[in-house]
Structure 1
């Protein structure tokens, strides 16, 4: 079988920010020719499917500047340097929603856009939720509305394009499939 690997010949750092960095790599292709690849480096992230005792999915409504609109998403956030994904998932759930959980189980990890980014999202399922007495403790530049919906409501929000990101759509469809297999 023919190798598909691209050998990096040169890397140029274009931008380094708080969340991502951008680099351009000159690569040697399998056929010996060269090309350029624009690559976004990301520290990784977590996302949480949080289910209440009455089978509501805990989500947040948040303005996304890249989209110039609000969307409804499952709680999620960036891994801090050296942070374990499960610990990050517990922290993000508490910070964004004010919920603590008895159980946080890893479901799957996936790359969001492997054509140009190395972001790996670790998806967890949180159960045994308990609302903390104090409210969510958001980052200083983070503003969200807490939303709790049934699976049917989440599917309707997808049709209305209010749930419009891949991680949340994946989560809703996972729950739909899981429910169908009962």
Structure 2
């Protein structure tokens, strides 16, 4: 990129993910160059999915504790979201989300349809989310879900009418961006009523 040069990266933390400070020279429209410093959090890419049942007019959501939401909102930190997970190295997005569906919500799906790719916070986080949809039936339920103990997950699985999920989004009970995007996708494309 011709408007970018002298990029220096310093690792600030490498705990759960990697926090970098990136210093770089950027050329503005007026031709001037400025030295800029930003922090960038790299935790890899992620996947998420809206599971929907046309016959029952329901969706599967999850509810779990999120420390950043707790810190920011000073509430109980519980977040209602679509099933989601971080991609392992060299894992494709569809394989990841099929695995996450089984681990988190207890359904065995064979395939998922990718509908979007999006950065949810491109100013600070490198993560690109791959957003999927898939139909489910009761026959696909193979376990109770709830996440993996080895990943310190404690996930409540929610099966709710689609109209209730939209209401939860509209009254800000659901405030997770990926979940809002997928619920709105379902509305726009009339997946459910």
TM over 0.5: yes
Q: What is the correspondence of 1:98-117 to structure 2 with a 5 Å cutoff?
A: 98-117=106-125
Is this contact kept in 2: 1:102–1:128, CA < 8 A? no
Whichever structure has more helix as a proportion of its residues is 2
Instruction: Within 5 Å, give how 1:80-99 maps onto structure 2.
Output: 80-99=88-107
User: Runs of 5+ in structure 2 lacking a partner?
Assistant: 71-76
Q: Normalization by structure 2: what TM-score?
A: 0.85
Name the Cα RMSD after superposition: 2.1
Matched with 1:138 is 147
Question: For 2:69, what is the secondary structure of its paired residue?
Answer: coil
Displacement after TM superposition at 1:62 (Å): 0.8
TM-score, normalised on structure 1?
0.89
> 1:17 deviation in Å?
2.0
Partner Cα separation in structure 1 for residue 123 and residue 56 of structure 2: 39
Which structure shows the bigger proportion of residues in strand conformation?
A: 1
- C-alpha contact 1:64 1:70 (8 A) present in aligned 2: yes
Deviations 1:47-90 (A, max 9, x none): 01111242211111111111121121000000111111110000
User: What is the total number of aligned residue pairs between the two structures?
Assistant: 178
State the partner residue of 1:42: 43
Point out where structure 1 has 5 or more consecutive residues left out of the alignment: none
C-alpha distance 135-38 of structure 1, shift in aligned 2 (>3 A): same
Alpha-carbon distance between aligned partners in 1 of 2:60 and 2:191, rounded to the nearest angstrom: 20
